[in-house]
Amino acid sequence: MRFFDPAIGTGAFYSALRKVFQKQQIIEALGFEIDSYFEKPTSQLWKNSGLMIKHADFTREKSTPRFNLVICNPPYVRHHFLQNGDKLRLQASTYNASGMKLSGLSGLYCHFLCLSHAWMAEEGIAGWLIPSEFMDVNYGQVVKRYLLDKVTLLHIHRFDPNEVQFADALVSSAVVWFRKAPSPKNHAVRFTFGGTLSKPMISREIPSKDLACEPKWTRFPMAAIRNKIAGPTLADFFQIKRGLATGDNKYFILDAEGIASRSLPLELFRPILPSPRYLPDNEVLADENRVPLLEHRLFLLDTRLSEEGIVGRYPALLAYLQNGRSQGIHERYLCRHRDPWYAQENRPPAPIVCTYLGRVDARNGRPFRFILNNSRATVANVYLAMYPTPILARAMKDDSTLIRRVWIALNQIAPDRFLSEGRVYGGGLHKLEPSELSNVDATEIAELIPRLKARLNSSQLGLFGDGEESPAIKRMQRTTCSRR
């Protein structure tokens, strides 16, 4: 046994190794630890045990492919905290070690995994305790390709996200096992969920060739491989965008009293929906000016008038902007990339909005809420704004009741359909990106539109007709899945 842990910490995995193997079976054991806070006591703890600990940055060390057992819980450092120079260096080193070019959005743990490829002996086994987010996110595609193309993926166990494994990290965790060897023909990967690694709650074997076609691995083992030809999705009926990011909500979003107390011009503000926790119902009613009828009414500063144009007309607003400058708000990332710095993104009112994050409601099992917006309020980035596509917009023009019936249908779709497209974090926090919500099966919506309902039972390739190349047509024209 030649044991290797590139982020050894206090040596917990080495301690477990010694309980399983006799001392004479362990020919070599090497660990790296960059943090002297851990390295010094760990070196003392394992002194004369046979474990060599190097106080060094593993990502900068020269590799030798001699270890047949790699066990690691790598540091969870998100890409935001990697300097540009480090990102480029890590990308180059990872490519040289594994042949995989990771995205600039990849966390440090992805680099650790791929860099360790160059330290492994042929037929060596690796076990990684890492965030399960790589199974769903875009940057994880390269990691998944590594697991399918460069090694033999053996087993992925995902812990129940409601049972957070680390108190200081809001991530759901997975254990990934693989062998450094080409994947055999007709190989199947074991997926398990919940419980423990040795006693999971659910287990399922998934052919590796099918994994290459599936962007959401967290659907396993609860679900089987989905059909390759899908019906209509929400992308056929809605253009979905995340709500706007202001750059500083406390500064740009005020209530009516805050606007009046500062003598600011209300005409340069527009209504914006408050956080979902201030919406007791899933329908927002409005007054005669289409301002939300809510106890918590908020307004967003949104004008493209230059400060020179504001000087003579709105002295109170000019003073407010100057106060914002004195606080450095104009230098914040989003603000300094806008002209003028206080102008907002173009997010017209959406007739339906969806909550972006949520936990499963104990009463109805739904983590996401679809809200019918009868007002002219825009939304911040805690919501997804759903704008009708031409297909739905034309049908709404013919039937003024349609949007309400679509909203009702959305709130009746089985929660699992949304959960299988989204992602989940520690503590059972679910999230839906616009592209993920767009992929949800929307057969129920098509059935509400008479000219589409008749076609559902005939040929779905002709479902949207009229020469429109809808997302559904594009999907259904794909009959095979190719591994890139």
CATH number, domain at 421? Answer: 3.90.220
Return the pLDDT at 480.
43
Residue 165 pLDDT > 80, yes or no?
no
What percentage of the chain carries pLDDT values higher than 70? Answer: 89
Q: Is there a domain that residue 18 lies in?
A: no
Residues 103, 314: Cα–Cα separation, whole Å: 47
Q: Is the pTM of this model over 0.85?
A: no
Q: Are residues 209 and 253 in the same domain?
A: no
Q: Determine the 3-state secondary structure of 132 from DSSP.
A: helix
Q: Are residues 174 and 207 in the same domain?
A: yes
Do 99 and 202 have their domain in common? Answer: yes
Whichever domain contains 180, its CATH number is 3.40.50.12420
**How far does CA 455 lie from the centroid of its chain?**
35
Alpha carbon of residue 371 to chain centroid = 22
- Assigned domain for 11 exists: no
Is residue 325 domain-resident? yes
For 104, the domain range is 57-219
Whether 279 shows a pLDDT value over 50: the answer reads yes
Whether 323 and 445 map to the same domain: the answer is no
Number of domains in the chain: 3
- Same domain? For 359 and 481 the reply is yes
| Of the residues 202, 219, 236, the one at which a domain ends | 219
The confidence band for 483, taking pLDDT boundaries of 50, 70 and 90, is very low
Residue that terminates a domain, selected from 344, 370, 404? 344
- Single out the residue in 296, 321, 344 at which a domain terminates: 344
Same domain flag for 279 and 141 = no
209 and 234 in a common domain: no
Which pLDDT value is given to residue 476? 46
Task: Indicate the pLDDT class of residue 472, thresholds 50, 70 and 90.
Answer: low
DSSP reduced 3-state for 352: strand
115 and 128 share one domain: yes
Q: 260 and 240, same structural domain?
A: no
Greatest pairwise CA separation for the chain in angstroms: 86
As a whole number, mean pLDDT of residues 370-396 equals 96
Whether residues 361 and 412 share a domain: the answer is yes
Lookup: tokens for 252: 């740009």
Same-domain pairing of 252 and 206: no
Tell whether the model's pLDDT for residue 29 goes beyond 80.
Answer: yes
Q: 44 falls in which pLDDT band (50, 70, 90)?
A: very high
Question: 213 with 108, same domain?
Answer: yes
- For the segment 289-316, the average pLDDT, to the nearest whole number, is 94
In a domain, 152, yes or no: yes
Dist. CA 440–CA 31, nearest whole Å? 45
Across the chain, how many H-helices and E-strands are there?
18, 20
C-alpha span between 166 and 50 (Å, rounded): 29
pLDDT of res. 471: 60
Least confident of 24-33, 51-60, 159-168, 432-441: 159-168
